[in-house]
Amino acid sequence: MSPIAWDQPATLIDLDGTTPLIATIRDCALHFDAFTAHAKAQARILLTKPVHREGRKTRTWILDPHEIAQLAERLRIEEQSQPVH
């Protein structure tokens, strides 16, 4: 998946129909990380800018749960590597 800027607007939705979260990719990843396993399996992110995904000829507007989990992991790693002031 192409890198996505943390400040890119996005919408976190789930297939159970709860209220979507309209926020940044960063906020969506943080929110996803707090979900239960069932909620994570139902989650999708609708992007405002499509991204290239490996194995696809066209760009896509939707991220699946495993891709959102990758974003959440990237965020955790980046936050841990930042110096504390």
pLDDT digits (tens, 9 = 90+) for 9-62: 999 998 888 899 999 999 999 999 999 999 999 999 999 999 888 888 888 899
CB within 8 Å of 64: residues ≥ 6 apart? 44
pLDDT of residue 67: 94
Whether residue 16 is contained in a domain is answered as yes
Whether residue 1 is contained in a domain is answered as no
User: What whole-number distance in Å separates Cα of residue 42 and Cα of residue 53?
Assistant: 20
Number of domains comprising the chain: 1
Instruction: State the residue range of the domain holding 54.
Output: 9-81
Whether residue 2 is contained in a domain is answered as no
Whether residue 30 is contained in a domain is answered as yes
